[in-house]
Amino acid sequence: SSCTRTGTHPDPSRDSSLRPSAMSAPQTEGGAGWRKRGTDGDEEIGGRCLKALRSDVSVASMAWPPMSPPPPDDFDLLLPKQPPPSPASALFRPPVEQGTKYVIVSGGVCSSLGKGVTTSSLGALLRGHGFKVTAIKLDPYLNIDAGLMSPYEHGEVYVLDDGGETDLDLGNYERMMYLSLRRDNNLTTGKIYDSVIKKERRGDYLGKTVQVIPHITGSITEWVDRVAQIPVDGSTLRPQICMIELGGTVGDIESMPFIEALRQLRFNLPEHSMAWCHCSYVPDMSGQKTKPTQHSVQALLAAGLMPDFVVCRSAEPLKTETRKKIANQCNIPVARILSAHDVKNLFHVPEVLAAQHVVGLLNGILQLDALDVTPARFMSRETGFRSLNDWTAFAKQVDLAEEGHEV
């Protein structure tokens, strides 16, 4: 027969479950219990088990493991000391400045849609309303900068005041928003990987496994947050709105770290702090086709981002039924489906967007009316703001200059 023990000496007189008569069901041969099924002398077996349980000698002779002692009060001191937390552990949610507004401009379907002109035009309109604006270009290529890139592939190199060799889009930013940008306003994949690898070689990550998430994406977020606080409009006041152009096309492998970093940035910011503007292409083949735009927005949704605006590039102004179809399929209000049709020169684009009340729509998302638009002291109008009338008049001058006259 077998007797059970639960770690302490049970007292059958107090615990009714240990009494033979209290067993609900007799167990079979070989099982732990007080009785053997189908045998005589059940009371005798139960008595021997009780006697064995009361005897220290019998208990000591049984091959049962001893009880574990209770943990002391300073149990945590017995644990091995853990290494200090790595700085990279905070990169899953890096701290960011909570007072800055962001306007993100991405592109889909194909490249060369005019994302840089769209970014510059939106920034110019915001500057015209008195907001302090800066701009950042995110390029997914592995080059450190555009200094050694062929102009046949990527256009001419634009040199900034601090000597930074950057993309031509930064030239559009400076001309249309009246800014003086720095080399850090152009962020490439090469710069990010170079920065992270140098940190790893110095041991800044304390032996952690360096990965795309969180280290690469965290470095992108930290870079954007740092550069967005630097004044670039000739004043010493911190920018209120940061325009960010995401180069490449949504869905490309090379741009995925930037999209994930911007998603994390949006998650870390308070509400009404980021507006996402997605540029797409609407071809005209026996009518304006919306399917490429639908798939482009779907790729952005798959990355965890919902665009607030869709800027549709097309040869002709967007038709009403085309707007409604895109709005219905992309879950975006019709008023936020903007037409960016072909114009004579790019200086007409601010007027085209202003006619669709883009600043008012941005105000509804970012609550821009809560920002202070008091101009900085000693800021001249030449380096300050341009109204919509200024852009319209300047665009007409460019139109006249481009008209040829026989001599």
Cα 342 to its chain centre, rounded Å, is 32
Percent of all residues in the chain with a pLDDT value above 70, rounded to a whole number: 72
Q: Residue 369 has what pLDDT? A: 86
Residue 184: name the closest of 160, 218, 201, 208 by CA: 160
Q: Residue 286 has what pLDDT? A: 87
pLDDT confidence tier of residue 225, bands split at 50, 70 and 90:
very high
Q: Is the pLDDT of residue 185 over 50?
A: yes
Return the top range by mean pLDDT from 3-7, 33-37, 87-91, 203-207: 203-207
The mean predicted confidence, pLDDT, of the chain is: 81
Q: Residue 394 has what pLDDT? A: 86
Q: Is the pLDDT of residue 302 over 70?
A: yes
3-state secondary structure of 240: coil
Mean pLDDT check: name the lowest of 18-32, 39-53, 121-135, 292-306: 18-32
At residue 302, φ and ψ (nearest 5 deg) are: -65, -25
Q: Residue 6 has what pLDDT? A: 47
Burial of 152 (0-12, 13-18, 19+ CB in 10 A): exposed
Using one digit for the tens of pLDDT, what is the confidence trace for 78-120?
666 665 555 555 555 666 667 889 999 999 888 888 899 999 9
Task: Give the angle 240-246-249 at the CA atoms, nearest 5°.
Answer: 155
Average the pLDDT over 377-390 and give the result. 61
Using one digit for the tens of pLDDT, what is the confidence trace for 23-82?
444 444 444 444 444 445 555 555 555 555 555 555 555 566 677 676 666 656 666 666
Q: Residue 310 has what pLDDT? A: 95
317 is written with which tokens? 């102004």
More confident residue, 41 or 303: 303
